[in-house]
Amino acid sequence: MESLSPARVTALRERANLVRQGIVRALVSAGSGHSAGSLDMADVFAAFYGEILRHDPARPDWEDRDRLLLSCGHIAPVRYSAMAYAGYFPVEELLTLRKFGTRLQGHPERVRLPAVETTSGPLGEGLAQGVGMALGAKLDEKEWRVYVVTSDAEHQCGLHWEAMMTAGKFELDNLTCVVDRNFIQIDGSTEDVMPLEPLANKYRSFNWEVFECNGNDVAEFVAVIEKAKAVRGKPQVVIAHTVPGKGVSYMEGDYTWHGKPPNREQADEALRQLEAERERIVAGNG
């Protein structure tokens, strides 16, 4: 794929901003949920639904679609918001997050919402599910790809490493794992709770092709995914370095926002900041 035009980059950055605004509105409406990780992955999900994935909102079960799995299901607000702005359902439905009977549960549920490939639950499951899908696609000689978004902290789960080993054994070059490397979890820094470094070398030792990028730069993320897609004979991992709470000044870098929503006053301030940033993006000054 040719590099993105400046106009396309601007459009994706604006989309990511709108996704963040949708996240804030959904969280304050719900009164519960996870802020930091949802906000820091807005650029990645805007890139997926706006540029990378082969998908069709009008045909969410299209057989030849790429599969996007969210392993760290607690950041469901970012997926829901990105899907809404991609046309899968009305943006207003974001305000039903975590409400009784909603399609937008606290973790994505496959049977409730079209194009949600799996039901996210215990951390560490997503890559194993993605490995199964990717292997099935290979056996059936299908061209669609599998992308799995994971948190860094869920690498503390053993199942994830078993899935890494399996993907390497079967040379699943139709599988890309994206790691949200924001260095936080509910109790603090990942490197204090259970150190992960040297994370890149650990993936290499399992026969993965490793890429790293700024996960809060949509153009850089799209470019690195294109490089990953060109790899043959190995699964790929993209370690996307992100700032937790990205876009909201009082949340950025603060692990205490991992698992709580803003109150109404805080949400109003977040939306004010985000809208000001959107105006800068559109004006070419962001």
pLDDT digits (tens, 9 = 90+) for 225-255: 999 999 999 999 999 999 999 999 999 999 9
Alpha helices (H) along the chain? 6-30, 36-40, 42-47, 76-86, 126-139, 158-169, 190-193, 199-205, 218-229, 264-283
Element (H, E) at 176: strand 175-181
pLDDT at 1 > cutoff 70: no
Residue 224 has pLDDT above 80, yes or no: yes
Q: What is the pLDDT of residue 220?
A: 98
Per DSSP, the three-state class of 230 is coil
| Over residues 211-232, mean pLDDT | 98
Residue 285 has a pLDDT of 78
Percent of the chain with pLDDT over 90: 94
In angstroms, the CA 180 to CA 183 distance is 8
pLDDT for residue 158 is more than 90: yes
pLDDT at 286 over 90: no
How much is the pLDDT for 121? Answer: 76
Residue range 55-80: average pLDDT?
97
Section 86-109 average pLDDT? 96
> pLDDT (tens digit, 9 = 90+) per residue, 15-33?
999 999 999 999 999 999 9
| Structural domains in the chain plus CATH codes | 6-283 (3.40.50.970)
* Residues in contact with 172: Cβ distance below 8 Å, sequence separation at least 6, in sequence order: 131, 134, 135, 138, 146, 235
Least confident of 151-155, 186-190, 251-255: 186-190
Instruction: Indicate the SS3 state at residue 62.
Output: coil
Q: What is the pLDDT of residue 115?
A: 86
What's residue 132's pLDDT? 98
Residue 215 has pLDDT above 90, yes or no: yes
Q: How high is the pLDDT of residue 258?
A: 95
Please give the pLDDT value at position 2: 58
Q: What is the pLDDT of residue 124?
A: 87
Q: Is 114 exposed, middle or buried (0-12, 13-18, 19+ CB in 10 A)?
A: middle
